[in-house]
Chains A and B, each alone.
Chain A
Amino acid sequence: MTDWLNILLQGALLGGLYALFAIGLSLSFGIMRLVNIAHGDFIVLSAYIALAFIQATGINALASLAIVVPLMFALGYALQRGLLNFTLSGGLLSPLLVTFGISVIIENVLLQIFGADIRRLHAGAIETDSVAFGGIAVGVYPLLVFAVAVIAIAGLQVLFYRTALGRAFRATSDDAGTAELLGIDNRHLYAMAMAIAMIFTALAGVLMAIRTTFDPAAGPIRLIFAFEAVIIGGLGSLWGMLIGGMVLGIAQAVGAALSPTWQILAGHIAFLIVLVIRPSGLFPHTRD
């Protein structure tokens, strides 16, 4: 019995990481209708940037966030303003194919620079520490990641519903032309949206890399996890991303008990079930 409880708990906590994966993807889609196919590759890129800094300076992996997050924020702003903004008027094909191209470029550039070796970041004792909750040992690190996810989503909730910037985001998402007529600079706002999305992408990348191994080709599967979490939870729902992530994490934890192949497959199956039975997700967004 405790075995199954353990599996559920591990899966649920893993959901925190998947929620962090989902945030970046969901933000850019929600505000700009842009699905960043390179999203998973940016997660992996963040991990590699952290790796480079750690190798150069010897700092702790968690401390590297202080550098990686601002860097990815700036990169996101520049990427959107300098490149992706120009794809937004091109219908569906343009942003999809451009981000697809960027995905291929990132993967192969990382391969050229870092090689195909499998990597991992280290954060010290926190990786293996655990606390006991009524007979079950819960890892401190997974708890930390989950807490970060909850804080992230709560923070986004505040940003979107209680700040002027959040109102500007929601208005621009509704009707960019009219928002511009009220003094909102679309180009800057979209760039800010991508920059903010990159904050969470960077967080996700570093936190993931401490927990699991990564290599240049590790991006696409992360995109898929992010996507599955978003669809399961329901498009447009902030807390739905957390729930979606947890459902995915639990499905994967159940699958992992059988074999590593079943781990990912179980996640896909959970996603497909939701897609067929309840395509709008578990918590489809209703206008607040």
Chain B
Amino acid sequence: MAGFRVDRSTRESRWFAGFLVLVFIALATLPYWGGPGDMRLVSEMAYYLALAQLWNLLAGYAGLVSVGQQAFVGLGAYALFYLTSQFGIHPLVAVALAAPITAAISLPMALAVFRLRGAYFAIGTWVFAETFALGVSLVTPLGAGSGMSLTPAIMTQIAPDRAGRELILYWLSLAIVALVCAIVYLLLRSRYGLALTAIRDSETASDSLGVDTFRTKLTIYVVTAACTGMVGAFIFLQKLRLSPEAGFSVNDWTVVVIFMVVIGGIGTLEGPIIGMLVYFGLREMLADYGTWYLILLGAVAVVIMLTAREGLWGLVARRFNLHLFSVRRHLTR
């Protein structure tokens, strides 16, 4: 093997990394050059991208297709609301705490639901989400069926005035999506990433080579749950109001996210970005047509799964042999 080197990045990925930095700087300075609604929109795009990268990590890399991630969005949100209202914890700290709390709940849940396989696993995760939603609606300290609100007293801890709060929450959204993407990216570059790719390709073969598939999948599941919980806490920090239906909504936190990943390209890091942009584009275009955009989204997802399983990004990547995120290893002389 003399004369070979293992490279992590390619020329394209280095250019892309530079491009990303530029985009990030532009977005960070948006408050100073953008319009009033822009910050809200970019925030929303940011947290959806975070959710999409996380779902993609779970389904596209670990092969765990969950239609119950809304469970963690809701749990994280409820953790935030409960910690701030019952214990007076600073909301931003509570958002961070939502991660370990959600992780702790996701662990026993994973042990139960991992007994199911394939599509039945997917439905099982959904049942858990429904169970949490129903359970929460029965607990009075959590606001029962009508939910909870974030009081001004809580919110002023972030910043005394509204403009200041909007600024901080906006930058927090960028920070969160950057953090989540970084976590996903680093995981995939690590030995975990290699293990996941092996498991994705053949679980039996991986097992026989000593990859602990169960622990790897469990780790990914819990890490994803933690991050999803943190994102969920952030989402509802912005919305100020939380109810079981909103927190555990399968339409908002699972249907849309899945479509983003599928249309963009499942199993790639670039895919969710494309999918997120396509979703927001479609939503803008079809804003006047009510539920038609969901129907179109569904139809596009079906067509993509049947004709171009690797999504829009997969088509591009295959055509141009392009990989913008350097998660692979290349042999070069």
Contacts and interface: CB of A to CB of B under 8 A. Distances in A.
Please determine if A and B sit in direct contact within the complex, based on CB atoms under 8 angstroms apart: yes
Contacts of A105: 295, 298-299, 302
Contacts of A100: 67, 255, 258, 301
Nearest to A96: B119
A264 B262 contact: no
Nearest to A227: B123
Interface stretch (B1-9, B125-133, B223-231): B125-133
Contacts, number: 125
A182 interface: no
A112 B291 contact: yes
Contact of A261 (B137, B255, B295, B305): B137
Interface string B220-256: 0000000000000000000000000000001000010
Interface string B320-331: 000000000000
A95 B119 contact: yes
Tier of interface size on chain A:
35 or more
Given A224-B127, A224-B130, A275-B124, A108 B138 contact: no
Nearest to A224: B127
B134 interface: yes
Contacts of A265: 131, 134-135, 138
B63 A92 contact: yes
A271 B127 contact: yes
Contacts of A215: none
Contacts of B119: 29, 35, 37, 92, 95-96
Nearest to A104: B298
Contacts of B295: 104-105, 108-109, 112
A98 interface: yes
B24 interface: no
B262 A97 contact: yes
Interface string B273-315: 0000000000000000011101101110110011001000000
Contact of B298 (A108, A228, A262, A269): A108
Interface residue range, chain B: 35 or more
A112 B292 contact: yes
B196 interface: no
Interface string A80-120: 00010011001011111110111111001101100000000
Nearest to A106: B298
A220 interface: yes
A94 B305 CA distance: 6
B120 A108 contact: no
B112 interface: yes
B65 interface: yes
Contacts of B59: 93
A276 interface: yes
A90 B309 contact: yes
A20 to B, nearest CB: 18
B134 A268 contact: yes
Contacts of A109: 295
Interface in A59-95: 83, 86-87, 90, 92-95
A272 interface: yes
B237 to A, nearest CB: 27
Contacts of B135: 265
B116 interface: yes
A94 B309 CA distance: 8
Given A96-B65, A228-B127, A101 B302 contact: yes
Interface of B: 59, 63, 65, 67, 112-113, 115-116, 118-120, 122-124, 126-128, 130-131, 134-135, 137-138, 145, 250, 255, 258-259, 262, 266, 290-292, 294-295, 297-299, 301-302, 305-306, 309
Q: Which 7 A-B pairs have the closest CB atoms?
A: A35-B119, A104-B298, A101-B302, A279-B115, A105-B298, A265-B134, A101-B301
13 contacts: A29-B119, A90-B309, A92-B63, A98-B302, A100-B255, A102-B298, A102-B302, A104-B294, A105-B299, A105-B302, A220-B126, A224-B126, A262-B138
Given A97-B258, A100-B255, 11 more contacts: A29-B120, A35-B118, A87-B305, A92-B63, A93-B59, A97-B262, A108-B295, A231-B120, A265-B138, A268-B127, A272-B128
